[in-house]
Copies of this chain bind each other. A is one copy, B any other.
Amino acid sequence: MVKVAILGATGYTAVELIKILLRNPDVQITAATTRQEGAPPIHSIHQSLTGRLNLTCEDLTPAEVCQRAEFVFCCLPHVASMEAVPGLLAGGARVVDLSADYRLKDPVAYEKWYGHAHTDAQRLAATVYGLPELWAERIPHQNLIANPGCYTSASILGLAPFLKQGWIDPTGIIIDAKSGVSGAGRAPKLNTLFSECNESVSAYSVGNKHRHLPEIEQVLSEASGQKVEAIFTPHLIPMDRGIIATIYARLKRSATDAELLAAAREFYRDKPFMRVVEHLPTTKDSAGTNYCDITVRQARGQAIIISCLDNLIKGAAGVAVQNFNLMAGFPETTGLLV
């Protein structure tokens, strides 16, 4: 029985994690943390867990967490995460960090994009970025995995085949992404009120101001061995979950739709969660699953790549469990094919 803890159990990612982990009979969730007082039972925070998990949420220190669990999913916000992770690792826990704190390799970039000096900067360079479709072999023996962002995964998984195989120009890429509202988290804010975002679409962070951009460029640059530059525009869509990234990239040579699809299929051969499809995927096709659906068309010298995934699952909790499965020695798909 593998004992796991969840730090920051009140958010949308945490409840998805719990539901996935409950499907693995060899895993036991032994701790869930919150700063809320009174040790509330988990089902009072997430009513959907009623009858499914008997656990109270406590305000535990990293050391206390390590006494209960071998593996820790850290669902804290950025900054809070890098304050907790060193203690978790020191206490012997192996950590999947779902925050942004260990994703960027460069502490200067971290400070620029997140507005805080990194307090655990010496760990950044060696931390593995947990995108199993690119780097599964790096993950099993790690003690700390930086779990990818949701927009990031959708963008990277759409672009990687074409960048690595040299079909497209690494600069001038346009990523126009659309996400359901759960990606904005569960803290009450005006702009995520139902009456504000229902029946409305809006772009935000327009002009390359979104924090997922440096992450996308860093990973794709490393993966393809060339400097990748993009313009990234996220949009808020009136739906709970799902991301579609519509990506425009200049083809370096003429190609048919069929050739591009074949290239993507070959690239993702044997990747259990990648579905390269001929039809145009909707976000609903992959909602509630760990799949990422990809297709591609060409027009006027551009590849138009469509990449869809569930932001809470393949974009967060699902890939976190993929990483955990690889680290803990479970089959990669455990709990994730339902």
A238 proximity list for chain B (CB < 8 A): 194, 198, 237-239
**Are A229 and B188 in contact, CB atoms less than 8 angstroms apart?**
no
**Are A304 and B192 in contact, CB atoms less than 8 angstroms apart?**
no
Residues of A264-297 at the interface with B, using a CB-CB cut-off of 8 Å, are: 275, 277, 279-289, 291, 293, 295, 297
Q: How far is the CB of A17 from chain B (nearest CB, A)?
A: 14
A323 CB–B CB distance under 8 Å: no
A244 CB–B CB distance under 8 Å: yes
Residues of A179-227 at the interface with B, using a CB-CB cut-off of 8 Å, are: 180-182, 184, 186, 188-190, 192-204, 206-208
Q: Interface stretch among A44-52, A100-108, A113-121?
A: A44-52
**Are A235 and B178 in contact, CB atoms less than 8 angstroms apart?**
yes
A48 proximity list for chain B (CB < 8 A): 284-286, 289
Given contacts A176-B246, A193-B186, is CB(A47)–CB(B239) below 8 Å? no
State which size class the interface on A falls in: 35 or more
A174 proximity list for chain B (CB < 8 A): 174, 176, 248, 302
A23 CB–B CB distance under 8 Å: yes
Q: Which of B231, B283, B304 contacts A233 (CB 8 A)?
A: B304
A300 CB–B CB distance under 8 Å: yes
What residue in chain B is nearest A10 (Cβ atoms)?
Answer: B190
Chain B CB count within 10 A is highest, among A186, A202, A285, A291, for: A202
Pairs A–B under 8 Å by Cβ, sample size 11: A47-B277, A48-B284, A181-B194, A182-B195, A193-B194, A194-B198, A194-B240, A195-B240, A200-B282, A201-B242, A201-B244
A residues with CB within 8 A of B: 12, 19, 23, 44, 47-48, 50-52, 174, 176, 178, 180-182, 184, 186, 188-190, 192-204, 206-208, 229, 231, 233, 235, 237-242, 244, 246, 248, 257, 275, 277, 279-289, 291, 293, 295, 297-300, 302, 304, 306, 337-338
Contacts A192-B194, A194-B197, A207-B298 known; list 13 others, CB within 8 Å.
A12-B195, A19-B338, A47-B285, A48-B284, A188-B190, A193-B194, A194-B194, A198-B198, A202-B284, A208-B299, A231-B248, A231-B299, A237-B238
